[in-house]
């Protein structure tokens, strides 16, 4: 067995040892300065490999440290059914709801709502509060009214049309196989006279879109 021993400038040495038997093998040293990667080196030593040179498919052994989120499914529901309430103390269900059954553990659900709403205000200022509910739990209640109409006095009635659009990213707790239902709710606001808070007042559909995003 042949060896080449390189001594350090002050102490120690490094040996290059040829195999005892086998076919002839050539080792070509690079024409530039650098550091050799040992067979027991760490992945931190691979920082100089160009990304374009890392190809292939890995089926195991990767640990996610960030990113990699992807869409697993998209579910959309719609309604054209009218709902009205004059309640100023409690929310009532609208007819807009959608359900999704997550296909992976720990997924997030992105909720997109585009809902047609309407205010009928008599003589005084009025408004409508909206909120998003998961199953029976309110998960998004805006701190202010979704829509408000300043009447400014008089004895006439006014009807206004609006559209409630928003996005909400939810992190629900569930077991695989569970179905999660999201819906919107509404209640009215008024200074004195009656305000009717309405959803889906026209034939223009309202939509709720649920997107499962893998964690």
Nearest of 195, 132, 135 to residue 159 by alpha carbon: 195
Q: C-alpha distances in angstroms, 11 versus 8, 14, 157?
A: 5, 10, 97
* Per-position DSSP letters for 3-57, written without gaps between them: EEEEE-SSS-EEEEE--SSSS----PPPSS---PPPTT--GGGGTTS-GGG--S-
Highest mean pLDDT among 2-16, 51-65, 152-166: 2-16
Tokens 């026209």 belong to 202
Question: What's the chain's average pLDDT?
Answer: 80
* Per-position DSSP letters for 144-194, written without gaps between them: S-SEEE---SSS-EEEEEEEEEEEEEE-----TT--EEEEEEEEEEESSS-
Structure tokens at 163: 């559209």
b/e for 78-107, b at 16 or more Cβ within 10 A? Answer: ebeeebbbeeeeebeebbbebebebeeeeb
Nearest of 210, 203, 166 to residue 79 by alpha carbon: 203
Structure tokens at 139: 């998960």
Measured CA to CA, the distance from residue 8 to residue 89 in angstroms comes to 84
Highest mean pLDDT among 33-42, 53-62, 140-149: 140-149
* pTM for the model: 0.64
Structure tokens at 11: 């102490």
The pLDDT of residue 42 is: 60
The pLDDT of residue 105 is: 94
Give me the residue spans of the domains in the chain: 71-213
The pLDDT of residue 151 is: 46
Structure tokens at 7: 């001594």
Q: 71-213 adopts what CATH topology?
A: Jelly Rolls (2.60.120)
pLDDT exceeds 70 at position 23: yes
Query: Span 9-25, mean pLDDT?
Result: 78
Q: C-alpha distances in angstroms, 199 versus 8, 54, 80?
A: 83, 54, 9
Number of H helices, E strands in the chain: 0, 13
Query: Span 3-15, mean pLDDT?
Result: 82
């Amino acid at each position: 067995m042949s060896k080449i021993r390189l001594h350090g400038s002050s102490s120690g040495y490094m040996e290059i040892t040829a195999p005892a038997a086998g076919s002839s093998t050539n080792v070509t040293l690079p024409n530039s300065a650098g550091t050799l990667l040992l067979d027991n080196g760490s992945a931190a030593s691979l920082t100089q490999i160009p990304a374009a040179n890392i190809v292939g498919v890995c089926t195991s052994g990767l640990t996610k440290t960030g990113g990699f989120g992807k869409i697993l499914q998209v579910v959309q529901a719609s309604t054209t059914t009218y709902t009205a309430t004059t309640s100023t103390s409690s929310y009532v269900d609208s007819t807009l709801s959608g359900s999704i059954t997550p296909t992976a553990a720990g997924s997030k659900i992105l909720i997109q709502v585009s809902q047609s709403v309407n205010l009928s205000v008599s003589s005084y200022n009025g408004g409508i509060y909206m909120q998003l509910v998961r199953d029976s739990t309110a998960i998004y209640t805006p701190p202010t009214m979704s829509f408000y109409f300043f009447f400014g006095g008089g004895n006439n009635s006014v009807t206004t049309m609006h559209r409630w659009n928003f996005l909400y990213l939810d992190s629900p707790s569930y077991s695989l196989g569970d179905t999660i239902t999201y819906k919107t709710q509404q209640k009215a606001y008024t200074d004195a006279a009656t305000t009717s808070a309405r959803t889906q007042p026209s034939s223009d559909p309202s939509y709720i879109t649920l997107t499962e995003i893998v964690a």
